[in-house]
Amino acid sequence: MLKLYWKRWVVLFITLVSSFIIGIRTSTGFFHLLFWFLSALITISWAWILIEYFSVRLHVKRKTLKQVTEDDELEVEAFIRNSSFLPILSLALEDYLPCAAEEERKKMLFIDHLGGGFSKNLEYRCLCPLRGKYRLGPFKVYYFDPLGLFFLKRVFKEYSELYVYPATFPIRKLPEMVKGVLPWFGIQTSRFSGDEDEFFGVREYRQGDPIKKIHWMTTARKMMLIVKQFQRQSYYRVTLLFNLEKNKNFGTGKHKVAEYMIKIAASLAKYLLQQNISFEVVASSGEMVYFPFNKGPEHYDSFMKFLAMVKAESTITLADIFEERSRYIPNNSNLILIMLDKDWGYMTRILELMERDIDIIPVLLISSTFLQSFDHQEVSTDINIKLSQNWALKPILITCRASLEDAFSLQIK
């Protein structure tokens, strides 16, 4: 705001001083009149602002979402109320949005008139280009005089917490996961339990619904047939494992290895949530991070909040993680391993898990494509052949700037 007003103040000051000096030296009435006119104008303007500043009571609140996805627009609604009897003829509301691009973080909204006892809702939005945890605010209110010569600023410490989740891409299919723990020992059952596993809610009766599912109390209350609805439960278990290594975070901007790993991990978690599959997370980002087996929206949100804030600061290798955590990966389960091709040397250690009936799905990022331009298709084919021959594995290959959605849909048959 100072950038907009300092030139006005300089011109006004020079005019005021010049009219005073010329009026004293020449005794010209015009310059005397100009000096006293400007002095009165300044006095009245400041008196006006000070009365508004100290007499008017404003209340400012912000309403917005608590989480959005990377590259989405955040919609914000600000509420400002004048709870005093004096009106405000001119003011501006500034909100600080650190989630926006640098040049758009200060959102300024001008209000021509706000009467006593009245309120106003203001809506604005911004694009959130980068994942992270942000603190929106504070509000700043600028009081102006009627001529727009001066202003006073008041800060309202109204803050809102916002998580910008990493962007995800649709995963239509993964290699079949058939490993998991059955819920009851000694009972033959499928990997999915029967209809009556977890109570989900009620709905209207449909032709063909069994009589035993009718919810009689709700039926009597609504005077129509209502049946109980159950959710089928999956007992598959998946471990997501990745290492955000600081020294191997090749690439620039959003095309860094860590950003790709985070986006892949977020998309896999979303896919597992949609498939109702329990998953745990083992990761390193400067410290070891562990999310125990669970599923559902709360588990997914906790993991996404971690991904929103995490940075590539790990100083240990993939071998160190396996040395510490591999024995805790449950037998008869699935392991999705997000790794760099530079970590091939650890594959012998990783493949020992197959002896414990653990299915391994490697997601392999080709590091050379993050460093310079290559024929991505040729590099992918070469690595695929080598892995298939040496370890009988068919990895999901990821190259820089290639479509992640295609990588998961084309290579999985």
Strands (E), 157-214: 160-165, 198-204
Q: In this model, does residue 305 exceed pLDDT 80?
A: yes
Which CATH number goes with the domain that contains 104? 2.60.40.10
- 330-375 confidence digits (pLDDT tens): 998 999 999 998 887 777 777 788 888 898 999 999 998 898 765 5
Does 128 fall in a domain?
Answer: yes
SS3 386: helix
Cβ atoms of 264 and 404 within 8 Å: the answer is yes
What is the pTM (predicted TM-score) of this model? 0.81
What pLDDT, on the 0 to 100 scale, is given for residue 346? 78
Exposure class string for 344-363: b at 16+ Cβ within 10 A, else e:
bebbeebeebeeeebbbbbb
Q: Are residues 250 and 369 in the same domain?
A: yes
- 91-138 confidence digits (pLDDT tens): 999 999 999 999 999 999 999 999 999 999 999 999 999 999 999 999
What pLDDT, on the 0 to 100 scale, is given for residue 381? 54
- The alpha-helical segments, DSSP class H, found in 243-362 are 257-274, 297-309, 318-325, 347-351
Confidence of residue 317 (pLDDT cuts 50, 70, 90): very high
CA-closest candidate to residue 171, choices 240, 235, 233: 240
Q: Are residues 83 and 154 in the same domain?
A: yes
Does 181 fall in a domain?
Answer: no
Q: Are residues 24 and 108 in the same domain?
A: no
Does 180 fall in a domain?
Answer: no
Element (H, E) at 154: strand 151-156
Number of domains in the chain: 4
Q: In this model, does residue 398 exceed pLDDT 80?
A: yes
Determine the straight-line distance between the first and last CA of the chain, rounded to whole angstroms: 59
Q: In this model, does residue 265 exceed pLDDT 60?
A: yes
Q: Are residues 271 and 337 in the same domain?
A: yes
Q: Are residues 161 and 93 in the same domain?
A: yes
- CA separation for the pair 98, 108 (Å, rounded): 14
What pLDDT, on the 0 to 100 scale, is given for residue 187? 36
Q: In this model, does residue 225 exceed pLDDT 50?
A: yes
Does 183 fall in a domain?
Answer: no
> Quick one: the chain helix, strand, coil %, rounded to 5?
35, 30, 30
Backbone dihedral angles phi then psi of residue 100, each to the nearest 5 degrees: -85, 170
- Looking at per-residue pLDDT, the higher value among 148 and 208 belongs to 148
- Looking at per-residue pLDDT, the higher value among 222 and 291 belongs to 291
- CA separation for the pair 114, 98 (Å, rounded): 28
Q: What is the average per-residue pLDDT within 137-163?
A: 95
What pLDDT, on the 0 to 100 scale, is given for residue 152? 94
Which residue range forms the structural domain that includes residue 43?
A: 2-55
Close Cβ partners of 289 (under 8 Å, ≥ 6 residues apart): 281, 282, 283, 306, 310
Does 28 fall in a domain?
Answer: yes
- CA separation for the pair 140, 95 (Å, rounded): 7
- 237-260 confidence digits (pLDDT tens): 999 999 999 999 999 999 999 999
- Tokens of residue 166, six digits: 């990493």
What pLDDT, on the 0 to 100 scale, is given for residue 222? 81
Q: For residue 374, is it left (φ>0), alpha (ψ between -120 and 50) or beta?
A: beta
SS3 134: strand
- Tokens of residue 357, six digits: 């009936």
Q: Are residues 153 and 255 in the same domain?
A: no
Backbone dihedral angles phi then psi of residue 244, each to the nearest 5 degrees: -90, 80
Q: In this model, does residue 196 exceed pLDDT 70?
A: no
Cβ atoms of 76 and 98 within 8 Å: the answer is no
SS3 199: strand
